[in-house]
Amino acid sequence: MVKIGVLGGYRGTSMINYCAASSGKAKVVAICDNNPEVLERQKKIHDGEDITFYGDFNDFIEHDMDAVVLANYANEHAPFAIRCLKKGLHVFSEVLPCQCMAEAVELIEAAEESGKVYAYGENYCFMPVPREMRRLYKEGRIGEIEYAEGEYIHNCESIWPSITYGERDHWRNRMFATFYCTHSLGPMIHISGLRPVSVVGFEGTKNERRIRSGSFSGQFGIEMVTLENGAILKSIHGDLYTNSIWYAVYGSKGRMEADREAAGVSDTLYLNADRYSGEYSDHPDVGAFDVSEKNDVIRRFGHGGSDYYIMDAFVDKINGVDNADVIDVYEAMDMFIPGLLAYRSVLNGGAPVAVPDLRDPAVRDKYRDDRACCDPKVAKEQLLPSFSKGNPDIPDSVYDEIKRRWEAEKNDGAYVKAAMSQGSLK
Ligand SMILES: NC(=O)c1ccc[n+]([C@@H]2O[C@H](COP(=O)([O-])OP(=O)(O)OC[C@H]3O[C@@H](n4cnc5c(N)ncnc54)[C@H](O)[C@@H]3O)[C@@H](O)[C@H]2O)c1
């Protein structure tokens, strides 16, 4: 049984629930959150269980455990992952893997030196449709990828109080438009198994809704990515009014796509393969297929059951299952670096930027001191604005109002609902 510690008590709930459903494969032994309210809530939920609770990561990391789940702030995963790997712990990292190129290099090297499992938690790859798309792609059903699109559009205005708490400097307020790119880009990378070689970035410049919520960035980000075989990917993510999770992959022998889903998960996959075989009307590879999760327990997990599968693969990998479908540290960077560098492209008037392959140690030196990002603690003199045209002035009253709404939500029980909406077991 794999002993797991969880850092971060909001999204971390999903991984805690996985352990409970894992039929003895994994067990949560420690939970850490430096927000006393969050820790208190976890204590209440797990009253009587053999779990130790920590408010300080320095104490938590000393606990007797095999692996750590990092569900802390999205821009702070790399330093915690590196510390855990150096301590000999396996690491499951929530999105994103790091926030700058220097951290990417440090993280890769820590994973290599540790020999431990590093698994990137890009659960959208394991939603019913992208998961089935990968299986079909590997079978060669649509031939070789030529073009693909991925969308992760989430209008978060109504839930912004419950996910930023009125904190001006919360990472969701400070991130740049192309930062949170792996929900849209990741599945296309995982399906194709190919490496990105260059990117052009775009930033949605209308950001009134963002400013109203307290966020500095452009409204949405786009990465146009070229893969090593010449295929082009379009990845769009961020805030448009109507939500969408959607993927389409065009190959040399056909196309597969999801039904566009506004509420969370798509269960239908449209396949149009071998269109010109002369058997179009009754060809088995043409049609709409229900790929919804059939297992009742797994279906109850967030994001169409993907929250279960991604943790299950991590635990299997630790247990020596060689073909467990984990996203390793190199693939994590293939999913993330295009978004990071897309913003450089935006800041440079839309010029293409080469995406380096950090698998090659010789390539790494160029990036060891590249700390450009939107987090002043890490970037220091390389600090980038969160919005390419300069950060908007947002008055304190915006955050006061968000905080007021958050307090009110907590008091009427929406607090729990908000945690659930982050992908916990419903
Ligand atoms: N894959 C998905 O579908 C999905 C969905 C939601 C969130 N997430 C990811 O989960 C992560 C957490 O997001 P969230 O929504 O839970 O909100 P969040 O980032 O606001 O919460 C992080 C939690 O970690 C705690 N924390 C942060 N730094 C800490 C430290 N040094 N020591 C102890 N505790 C610390 C905070 O107190 C907070 O409770 C992010 O990386 C986010 O991108 C992923």
pLDDT score at 261? 75
pLDDT tens, 83-129? 999 999 999 999 999 999 999 999 999 999 999 999 999 999 999 99
**The predicted structure's pLDDT at residue 304:** 87
Which residue, chain included where needed, has tokens 């990378």? 189
**pLDDT greater than 90 at residue 6:** yes
pLDDT of residue 426: 27
User: Ligand 1 atom closest to Cα of 33?
Assistant: 34
Q: What is the mean pLDDT of residues 305-327?
A: 97
pLDDT score of 416: 53
Q: How many helices (H) and strands (E) does the chain have?
A: 17, 15
Give the tokens for residue 139.
């079978």
Phi (first) and psi of residue 57, to 5 degrees: -60, -35
* Ligand 1 atom with least separation from CA of 77: 41
SS3 (DSSP) at 275: coil
CA distance 150 to 222: 10
- Report the separation in Å between the CA atom of 30 and the middle of ligand 1, taken as the mean of its atom positions: 16
What is the C-alpha to C-alpha distance for residues 129 and 127, in angstroms, rounded to an integer? 6
Is the CB of residue 38 below 6 angstroms from any atom belonging to ligand 1? yes
The number of angstroms, rounded, from the C-alpha of 305 to the middle of its chain's C-alpha atoms is 15
Q: Are 54 and 35 in contact (CB under 8 A)?
A: no
Query: pLDDT per residue over 182-236, tens digit each?
Result: 999 999 999 999 999 999 999 999 888 899 999 999 999 999 999 999 999 999 9
Domain ranges of the chain: 2-123, 124-295+328-359
pLDDT at residue 43 is higher than 80:
yes
Tell me if 11 CB under 6 Å of ligand 1: yes
pLDDT(281) > 50: no
Report the atom number in ligand 1 closest to the C-alpha of 10. 16
Asked if domains 2-123 and 124-295+328-359 share a fold, the reply is no
Q: Give me the pLDDT at residue 419, please.
A: 53
Say yes or no: domain 124-295+328-359 is CATH 3.30.360.10. Answer: yes
* Any ligand 1 atom below 6 A from CB of 73: yes
CATH of 2-123, one of 3.10.129.10, 3.40.50.10800, 3.40.50.2300, 3.40.50.720: 3.40.50.720
Query: Is the shortest distance between the CB of 33 and ligand 1 below 6 Å?
Result: yes
Q: Is 37 in the pocket of ligand 1 (CB under 6 A)?
A: no
CA-nearest residue for atom 34, ligand 1, is 33
